[in-house]
Structure formats: structure tokens, C-alpha cells
Amino acid sequence: MDLSDNVIYGEIPEELTSLVGLQSLNLSKNLLAGRIPSNIGDMKWLESMDFSMNQFSGEIPPSTVRLTFLSHLNLSYNNLTGQIPKSTQLQSFDESCFIGNELCGAPLKKNCSANGVIPPPAVEQHRGYHLLEDGLILLFSFQIVAIFAMATNFQLLCLIFSIALSVLLRPNFATGSSIGVCYGMVANDLPPPREVIDMYKSNQIGRMRLYDPNPEALEALHNSGIEVLVGVRNEDLQQLADSYSAAENWVATYITPYLPQVHFRYIVVGNEVSPGNSARYVLPAMQNLQNALSSGDIKVSTSIATSVLGVSYPPSAGAFSQDTIEYMVPIAQYLNNIGAPLLANVYPYFAYIGDPIDISLPYALFASETVVVTDGGLSYDNLFDTMVDALYAALEKAGAPQVQVVVSETGWPSDGNGEVTTPENAQIYNSNLISHVLSSCGTPRRPGNSTETYLFAMFNENMKPGAAVEQHWGLFYPNKSQVYPINFPIKRLKHKTWFQKLMQWIIQSAQSAFGKHIYGHN
């Protein structure tokens, strides 16, 4: 059973261990917390178990010594503590299977204290939810499979159940991980990074954008489960473009030491680089950094302003301007080739204040009750989608139709420009944006694909230069109180009846496959 690399919250239900015939269990790269079930050893036929890169705490259950068929084990990068249970089986694994925890004893070189225990660190309980409708549904799923496990053709049943879970785990049913928040630091009164990371976790914010590779922030991100976009400063672009060794050194300094405890999503090479001399360094810097990365899982990109478009209305006419086309087209095509997205800072606020006569405030705030723009057969009721689709049209014209747009900044200021910038308007925009993104409806030009989006910003930043409004984009004050109420909800399964029908299908499939009633043998 492979449920790895999702964003599943909560604790493992004890009922999972009733799947005594299971041979492989992979729950890695999730946000699971709490203790590993004490009776995990009941799953005596397990040959492979991977719980790495979660937030499990407490000791490794002593019952694991009964897993005598294990040939693959990975418990690395959790919050596990204490002595590794002694058995010939567990001590035969490499120490890399246990690193990233506060564990001691063989096969680790770290000896245990006299009582065999390392004092456990304080572990914050996760304020998350199970991925499905609620914990009972996830529990119900495991109970059904436990019943099925009594049937003779267990492998076929696992296949049926895996197909069902793969449907449930599509992005449409994932948590609110499509939403991140930018962590700007242009201030002299912000809380330390470790407290900021705790704020992200307690508010269920699963992604972060950092504008530079701040070492203290990267250290605080260790084993947090938060995915991070890390930026390359504009002033570093020329050196990284001119020297591959400089790119190797950058990766060796800011990326490699933090792997795999920190989940890097993208490296953002430059932010809103203006047309001119600096723009020509963006692509070669991206290429050098991508080549310097030993892991193909981390992609490079760059973050642009929507001002790179010469035409943005109607959305289908979107095209890069004459000033930017020379460097944007090669960048777009490179991203298309490596399978990376284009990051864009999309601000309906600035579009509105630049043209308040032709753009209505409800249209900018996701509050319009009617279609405002019709472009061919596509209808738009919010400005955000219009701006994103203009970027998609420009990418298509540039020969990069496969490139996804990631909105690397968006938001609404809460003060600094009269009645337009109020906490009420900021709350309306950001709350409606979150709901829109989590609906997974996408944009009219790219329907069905949730637009990965990062709100700007986590805090009001008192040292940002420019107009007064620049210091009032935060969701929180530096004292960690909210500027206005905002939630990052976990998406829940919308229709319980849909889930029930899926369970009925599983039961019917099992009955058909086995030719017997699932509750017992004939």
C-alpha cells in the first residue's frame, strides 16, 4: 500500500495494524504525527515499511522486533526518541534508516544513557485533520480492508483498494496545500524564524516563499513538513550566470546541507527582474543552478511581474511586450523543456487602482455576482483569473504551452490608500482567493487545475520602501496577532454519499472477485 507524498494529517489509526497480510506499507512524505501504533508488530508479513519524512513522535514500538520479514525499513526524519529496540532484524539496517531523529543505540553510533532513554523534546501536536471526510472515514476504510483481508485473494483486494484510494487522493481531495504564504523579512520587529514556522504549522499553511536563502529560516524549517520556495537575490544573478562553479557553490551552501529535512519546491532565480542589463542573466543563472542540482526533483524558475505583458486584455490576446519578449520567450521555452512552472506576481489590487473606472471593486475582490468579461467562449467573474489566463495565452504564443503558472505573490493591503485598503477588503480578497484556489476549478483557460498560489505576506513589514501601502500587506502583525480573521481550511470530501458509493463499489468488486460474501468463508 503506497500513500506516500500526499499531505495526510493526523495519527495512524490502530486499526491499520489489523491488515496482517499486508507486505508493503509506505506512508512517507506526509504530515502524519503522534505515535507509531504500539501493535505495529502484528503486521508480521511486512517486508517493506517506510514512515520517513513525517512528524511521528515517541519511541519506536517494541513490537517492531516481531517484523522478522522486513527487508526495507525507513524511519528517518521524524521526531522519534529513545532507544532503538534490540533485535537481530532492526540492528541489521543501515543507520541512514534512523537518522533525523533523537534516537540512540545500534545501528546508530550514538549511545543511550544509563536508562536507555534520551529525554524527548517538546513536540507540538499537529492541529490537522485526516485527509478524508473525517477520521472515521479513514478509519472505516481501514476496517473494510481488514475485513477483506480474510478473503483468499488478498492481492487482488489490495489492488482494488489502492485504485479507490488513488481516486480519493487526487488533488481535488487534497488539503489546502495549493495555498502558501510569502515570508518577507523587510522589518526590524519580526518574531524569530522558529516562531514563524510554528505559526505556519498552527495555521495549517503548508507552503512558504522565502526571498533569499536565510540560514536561520532554513534551519527552522527542518522536519516541519512545509514546502519552501527559496529565492536567489537579484544582485547574485550575474555571478551565477557567468560561473558554473558559483552556481555549484550556491547549491552546496544553501540547498545540499538542508536536504532532505527541508522540502524545497522551487528555486526562484530573481524576482521581477526589469528589462535591461540584469534580465539577460536570468536564463543562464537558471540553467547553471538547474545543472548544479543533483536532485531532479527540485526545479528552478523565475518570478515575473505581470507588467512583462504588452497585451493583457482580452485574456486570449495576452502576449509578452516588445521590451521583454527577447528574454521571456527563451525562459518560457526552457521551463517548458524541463517541466517547471513560470512564477508570476499577480495583483488585482494594482490593476484596480490603476483603472478604477473600467474595473469594478467587486470584480477585483472575487465578489462579482455576474460575468464581467466574455472572451470567445470563456466567461470571467473575477480579475485574478483574467490576469492568470493572459499569462497562459502569452506562454502559448511563446511556444511554451505546457508551462503552468504559479502565482508567487498576490494579496490586498489593509491600510495606506484610503477606503480601498481596509482590513475588510483585504479579508474579502484573501478569503475569496483561498476558497477559489481550493475549489480546484482552475481558470477558464485552464479548468480543473488548481492554481498554486502564495499570499503576500505573512507580516506587515515596517521597513519596506515606497508608498505607505507597502507596509500593510501582512496577514499578521509582528506581535503574531491577526490583522483580520483569515483561515486556511483543510479541504474536506464534499459529498459523503460519493464516498459511500465508492465503498459500495469496492464491496461489490470484492464479492465478484471472490465469489463469496465478504464477511466470511463459505
**Which CATH number does the domain housing residue 14 bear?**
3.80.10.10
| 95 and 224 inside one domain | no
pLDDT at 381: 97
pLDDT at 115: 52
Whole-number Å distance between alpha carbons of 47 and 306:
52
In a domain, 480, yes or no: no
| 160 and 226 inside one domain | no
| 94 and 84 inside one domain | yes
| 251 and 397 inside one domain | yes
pLDDT at 380: 98
pLDDT at 439: 85
In a domain, 363, yes or no: no
Residue at which a domain ends, from 94, 128, 162: 128
**Domain span at 22:** 1-128
pLDDT at 300: 98
Q: Kindly report the three-state secondary structure assignment for every residue of 72-89.
A: EEECCCCEEEEECCCCCC
Report the CATH number that the domain containing residue 327 is assigned in CATH.
3.20.20.80
In a domain, 300, yes or no: yes
The residues, any chain, with a CB within 8 Å of residue 353's CB and separated by 6 or more, are 417, 420
| 146 and 200 inside one domain | no
Whole-number Å distance between alpha carbons of 50 and 115:
28
| 278 and 165 inside one domain | no
In a domain, 479, yes or no: no
In a domain, 227, yes or no: yes
> pTM of whole model > 0.75?
no
| 170 and 257 inside one domain | no
Residue at which a domain ends, from 96, 112, 128: 128
Tell me which of 227, 409, 452, 461 is the catalytic residue. Answer: 409
Domain total of the chain? 3
Told to judge if 235 belongs to the known catalytic residues of this protein, a careful annotator would answer: no
pLDDT at 178: 79
Whole-number Å distance between alpha carbons of 460 and 464:
9
Cα angle value 492/493/499 (rounded, 5°): 155
Tell me which of 47, 95, 248, 272 is the catalytic residue. Answer: 272
In a domain, 252, yes or no: yes
In a domain, 96, yes or no: yes
Told to judge if 195 belongs to the known catalytic residues of this protein, a careful annotator would answer: no
pLDDT at 94: 85
| 184 and 159 inside one domain | no
In a domain, 425, yes or no: no
Residue at which a domain ends, from 128, 150, 184: 128
| 239 and 383 inside one domain | yes
| 184 and 213 inside one domain | yes
| 111 and 235 inside one domain | no
Nearest residue to 380 via CA among 428, 321, 446:
446
Q: Tens of pLDDT along the chain (522 residues)?
A: 888 766 676 788 877 888 878 888 999 878 788 999 999 989 988 889 999 888 899 999 998 988 888 888 999 888 899 999 987 678 888 888 888 889 999 999 888 876 544 444 443 333 333 333 344 344 444 444 444 444 445 555 555 555 455 444 443 333 445 799 999 999 999 999 999 999 999 999 999 999 999 999 999 999 999 999 999 999 999 999 999 999 999 999 999 999 999 999 999 999 999 887 789 999 999 999 999 997 678 999 999 999 999 999 999 999 999 999 999 999 999 999 999 999 999 999 999 999 999 999 999 999 999 999 999 999 999 999 999 999 999 999 999 999 999 999 999 999 999 999 999 999 999 999 999 998 888 999 999 888 999 999 999 999 999 999 999 999 999 999 999 999 887 544 444 444 445 545 555 555 555 454 433 343
| 101 and 140 inside one domain | no
Helix ranges (DSSP H) in 78-214? 135-148, 154-168, 193-202
